[in-house]
Structure 1
């Protein structure tokens, strides 16, 4: 690569600003090599993987463990298609990842057919967004996609990047991402919640994947201590409440295993619970439910 700052550098610097420390994948030449070299300049490691699906799952798990976007690079056509299973995994597990696929330059679309597939088209049903970085503000465009991936319900996003686009000079400076904050609920809603809490005797808290944010985890633990009630976590939320906490009731699946523990609860507080985490059946309990979540996911329970 030349010493000129390019779109690939803007991509790498933006990823670094979002806390990315490594990316995974199988380079197919083209833009992949430009991005890998620019990432090294930015202090981001590249992990060469055996297959695109495994690379995408590794990126998803990295996102879950770090809270920062996971990143995967693929070649064009069959390379990008081979990542679909991992992309679907990220969609279903609510993992914020970015898939960067090599692509043909748009100027060649009129005559190129070899390994040409509509990447954005086949990823659309299981992704949150897709675009090309073909404008004058590639860093801002990528940041908007990363913010989309990190917004609840979290999930995968995609960019198509040709070698020509990656090597274009880029002058836009990278800005630090805005700090994500938890907003206060409306006063009338808080009054309803307090009314439910005042009227209950045996509340139970069920903690889901949205509560993995450290600030939310602290708040959930404090609420459990205040109410002195049992707390159960889904598989994805394991660790939000310590296993040796006296109020820990183990795992919650939405099935029958935890029913004896919760059968006499007179109020359920769902903290960041996503229906995708549960066994596919209707909500089995009759007690009132107070749901605290960053997003309203449909279909619901």
Structure 2
């Protein structure tokens, strides 16, 4: 006979059986039984954040850097609503996460009780699935099923809403016989149809101007997928580009690498996409930041789209060949078939010659300044000083994020953690904390802007409490840089509320939290300041003062085509501040 235990104990035992090692959370009245159960055990480590939004982003950083699902535990009402932004962020960026929210007792649901909200209703459209648990006897199976849904197919967040009376009620718990309990209506297709793989291989072999357009799905498929991508690129000879979320799946040092594509992508990547006769989309979803104006997107190409999410295929761009399946396994099948048939690719020398002409534009070049630190230069020097250490880089959101994507070259997966689909300011610091928890010996650096870092600045305290040696490298231009840039380009330089007034002294703020604070004010201080950051034990915050009005180019204006890229400020039509033009 299986002994009965409380719902809270069932939850903890199920998490333990699933191999959960870390939970990011914040206690409150509706989850106190769970926190009492956590207190009584030693297998699961709890990381106390300073706000529930930080818990969700920390779980994202942990998941993205380790490949394991992130776990969040928050209380009802404001605890749940504070986590919603991180949940939505995880859904758009396909991050596996299970969020356990407290709820008022079942008898009070719907009465506007203290700290009650409709968590299921609120999260219905920003989760893969959610549960309101009313029977402790079902809780164990639900937890196992939730992890299966979160981590299989296209990964994403799952919410388990757990009323307080269910946490204290008792029921038996038996570990399921299988590793996961599949939902009866959830059957993601992992293995691609062989006939479609065969068709894809033949299309690639016949193409004269092919390109691999890779996305975060390659990274989500596991580290082996990145290796298979490299082999696929090698045997076909095709160039490779990537979305923001796919950076690191293909090495930046490869001569086949074109850089990131899209709104702030490289000239060669965007022009290659426009001129290709075959686009092979691997784990990417053709979002608007990649395609630009849809009716002008890659008009000369046939398109193969491989994705595990059936709904992504033909959702935005019509595919000539749509293949549903795990992209890593699909690429493995393509490589095997290519070698079995002893395919030889078309002569791609003319195609690569055209690409080299586009590369000659040197679209990522930026003006040098002896007076001010150019932000692009700061990123390049940071890369020079750290890339041998194989760092994990997180970012906030804004200009600094795009500069980091452009100028920090990645050689492997799971080293680039950023908010892509939702563009969530305040993501970087808690994500860095989660990554450091999951990778205690890694160098973890949050490349930040002075405006975005303020969104979750309180999480510095979390790093202090758990002795996490995260580094924050702030590109401080005293503006909400991307907002200010758009105001330059399309609003005549009218900087409406984009200046970051009343900024703190970041060095003193760092010291107040028990961190080391460093200020870099000129180019001559840059390398020494970066070296000090790296060599200083414990958490470090660097306030790097950069050119205030530098803009992030190249860029495709919103609603424009790939062929309408702006490479420099003098290509911008309309009014623009002369000082800003001088810096771009």
TM-score by length of 1: 0.87
Task: Please report how far the alpha carbon of residue 28 of structure 1 lies from its aligned counterpart in structure 2 after TM superposition.
Answer: 0.6
Task: Indicate if the aligned counterparts of 2:153 and 2:188 stay in contact, CA closer than 8 A.
Answer: no
Q: CA deviation at 1:288?
A: 0.9
Aligned partners of 1:28, 1:240: CA distance in 2, in Å?
A: 40
- How do 1:59-78 residues align onto structure 2 when only pairs under 5 Å count? 59-78=59-78
**Structure 2 Cα separation of the partners of residues 116 and 146 of structure 1:** 25
Which structure 2 residues correspond to residues 191-270 of structure 1 after superposition, within 5 A?
191-212=198-219, 213-253=222-262, 257=266, 258-270=269-281
Q: Verify the 8 A CA contact 2:261 2:270 in the aligned structure 1.
A: no
CA RMSD of aligned residues (A): 2.9
1:24 maps to which residue? 24
Cα separation, 2, equivalents of 1:216 and 1:22: 26
Deviates more, 1:148-157 or 1:266-275: 148-157
- Asked if 2 retains the 8 angstrom alpha-carbon contact of 1:36 and 1:46, the reply is no
**CA 219–18 in structure 1, closer or farther in 2 if over 3 Å, else same:** farther
Does the 8 A contact of 2:100 with 2:161 survive in 1? Answer: yes
Change (3 A) 1:14 1:242: farther
Within 1, Cα distance between the matches of 2:17 and 2:287? 30
How far is the alpha carbon of 1:220 from its aligned partner? 1.5
1:13 to 1:250, Cα distance in 2 relative to 1, 3 A: farther
The answer for unaligned runs of 5 or more in structure 2 is 182-186, 318-584
Contiguous gaps of at least 5 residues in structure 1: none
C-alpha displacement of 1:154: 2.4
Partner of 2:93 in structure 1?
93
Can you list the C-alpha shifts for 1:233-261, whole angstroms capped at 9, x where unaligned?
A: 22212221122233222212367632234
Distance 2:251 2:30 in 1: 47
Deviates more, 1:202-211 or 1:189-198: 189-198
Match of 1:300 among 313, 316, 320: 316
Deviation at 1:88, TM superposition (A): 1.6
CA shift, 1:182, in A, is: 7.8
Q: Which has the larger radius of gyration?
A: 2
For the 8 Å contact 1:105–1:162, the answer to whether it is kept is yes
Question: How many residue pairs were aligned?
Answer: 299
Call closer, same or farther: CA 1:26–1:238 in 2, change over 3 Å.
Answer: same
Write out aligned runs for 1:265-276 (5 A): 265-276=276-287
Quick check: 2:251–2:257 contact (8 Å CA) kept in 1? yes
8 Å CA contact 2:25–2:48 kept in 1: the answer is yes
Shift of the alpha carbon at 1:273? 0.9
* Cα deviations by residue, 1:87-144 (Å, 9 ceiling, x for unpaired): 2211222212122111111123476622221110111121222213333232211121
Indicate if the aligned counterparts of 2:242 and 2:259 stay in contact, CA closer than 8 A. Answer: yes
CA distance in 1, matches of 2:42, 2:105: 25
- Under a length normalisation based on structure 2, what TM-score does the superposition of the two structures give? 0.47
Residues 241, 248 of structure 1: 8 Å contact kept: yes
Of 210-219 and 179-188, deviating more is: 179-188
> Shift in Å at residue 209 of structure 1?
0.9
How has the CA–CA distance of structure 1 residues 261 and 230 changed in structure 2, closer, same or farther, with 3 Å as cutoff? same
2:60 match: secondary structure: helix
Whether the aligned pair in 2 keeps the contact of 1:210 and 1:274 (CA below 8 Å) is no
Which has the bigger relative contact order, CA under 8 A and spacing at least 6? 1
Contact persistence 1:255–1:279 (CA under 8 A):
no
> How much has 1:21 moved relative to structure 2?
2.1
